[in-house]
């Protein structure tokens, strides 16, 4: 074999580095995260790769005296989720006893200021189960927030369970028509099918509410969310508006 050494550069857990060990006839040194050439924690950087390749590292530039403001991640300008959370927060004004469980997607950013609107995020589909669990142990306003793609992926089974147990909870499905967080891949099912699917899972027709996630509709949205929070059963509110990033992509094609 003409290869003297293999360097494996991979983000996340070193699966490939682990799995290719032992598959070569002649022993070839394999370098990467497991062997310590690449740091196991954090993301790959140009500097860590340079060092692993045996090149001199590049020191960062020091800018003494300059205060760089923190820039935490946030929604894109005009994101529909921002309007959905504004409506939810307004609907909860004056409520002392509520719990909001989020799922995993762009909307998880609502855990940060200025929203501070979600209190848990565990894994895909967990928002529904967390809200159901909270309601079951006596939480007054138990709310789950999940994206449309995540709902199709793993939220439906938990909702079916909540319906079967007549859990007093409200689920907000933020339907932006795409999988925004991972690059705007198409959602598996169109918005028009979602209410039928929810009915099929057993959600009562009158408590499936489809709203526009837009600042111009906020007063009406707040009123509906309040109504459903007061309902003693499973209610689902679908907040609909396209992801801005998806819209930009679609207009270019
Ligand atoms: S990618 Fe789309 S859904 Fe995600 S924050 Fe931006 S506009 Fe919102």
Q: Is the pLDDT of residue 1 over 70?
A: no
Q: Which long-range contacts (CB under 8 A, 24 or more apart) does 178-183 make?
A: 178/149, 178/242, 178/243, 178/246, 179/105, 179/147, 179/149, 180/105, 180/106, 180/147, 180/243, 180/245, 180/246, 181/104, 181/105, 181/106
**Predicted confidence (pLDDT) at residue 233 exceeds the cutoff of 80:** yes
Q: How far is the CA of 97 from the centre of ligand 1 (A)?
A: 29
Tell me what the mean pLDDT of segment 187-193 comes to.
90
Query: In this predicted structure, what is the pLDDT of residue 2?
Result: 80
pLDDT number for residue 4: 86
Of ligand 1's atoms, which has the minimum distance to the CA of residue 75? 5
191 C-alpha vs ligand 1 centroid, how far in Å? Answer: 17
94 and 4 in a common domain: no
Measure 75 CA to ligand 1 centroid, in angstroms.
6
Does residue 86 belong to any structural domain of this protein?
yes
CATH number at residue 188: 3.40.50.970
What's the maximum distance between 2 C-alpha atoms anywhere in the chain? 72
Q: How large is the average pLDDT for residues 160-184?
A: 93
Residue with CA closest to ligand 1 atom 5:
75
54 or 68, which is more confident?
Answer: 54
Please give the share of the chain, as a percent, with pLDDT higher than 90: 76
Query: Domain tally for the chain?
Result: 2
Indicate the pLDDT class of residue 35, thresholds 50, 70 and 90.
very high
* Residue 37 sits in the same domain as residue 120: no
Distance (Å) from CA 36 to ligand 1 centroid? 36
Please tell me the predicted confidence (pLDDT) of residue 180: 79
Domain that holds residue 188: 80-249
The pLDDT of residue 184 = 81
Residue range 49-75: mean pLDDT, rounded: 89
**Are 153 and 94 found together in one domain?**
yes
Higher per-residue pLDDT: 27 or 71? 71
Predicted confidence at residue 124, as pLDDT, reads 93
209 Cβ inside 6 Å of ligand 1: no
CA distance 94 to 149: 32
> How would residue 25 be classed by pLDDT, with cut points 50, 70 and 90?
low
| Residues 205, 164 share a domain | yes
Answer whether 76 contacts ligand 1 (Cβ < 6 A): yes
- 29 shares a domain with 123: no
User: For 72-98, what is the mean pLDDT?
Assistant: 95
């Amino acid at each position: 074999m003409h290869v003297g050494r293999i360097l494996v550069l991979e983000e996340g857990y070193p699966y490939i580095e682990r799995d290719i060990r032992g598959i070569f006839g002649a022993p070839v040194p394999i370098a990467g995260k497991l062997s310590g050439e690449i740091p196991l924690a954090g993301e790959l950087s140009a500097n860590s790769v340079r060092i692993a390749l045996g090149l001199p590292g590049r020191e960062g530039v020091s800018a003494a005296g300059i205060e760089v403001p923190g820039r935490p991640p946030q929604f894109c300008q005009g994101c529909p989720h921002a309007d959905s959370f504004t409506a939810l927060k307004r609907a909860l004004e004056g409520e002392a006893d509520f719990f909001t469980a989020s799922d995993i997607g762009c909307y998880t950013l609502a855990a940060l200021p200025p929203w501070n609107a979600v209190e848990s995020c565990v894994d895909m589909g967990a928002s529904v189960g967390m809200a159901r669990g909270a309601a079951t142990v006596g939480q007054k306003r138990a709310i789950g927030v999940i994206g449309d793609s995540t709902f199709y992926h793993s939220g439906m089974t938990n909702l079916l369970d909540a319906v079967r147990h007549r859990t007093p909870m409200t689920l907000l499905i933020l339907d932006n028509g795409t999988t925004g967080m991972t690059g705007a891949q198409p959602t598996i099912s169109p918005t028009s099918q979602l209410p039928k699917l929810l009915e099929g899972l057993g959600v009562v027709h009158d408590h499936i509410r489809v709203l526009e996630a837009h600042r111009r509709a906020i007063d009406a949205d707040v009123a509906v969310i309040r109504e459903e929070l007061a309902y003693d059963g499973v209610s689902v509110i679908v907040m609909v508006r396209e992801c801005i990033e998806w819209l930009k992509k679609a207009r270019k094609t």
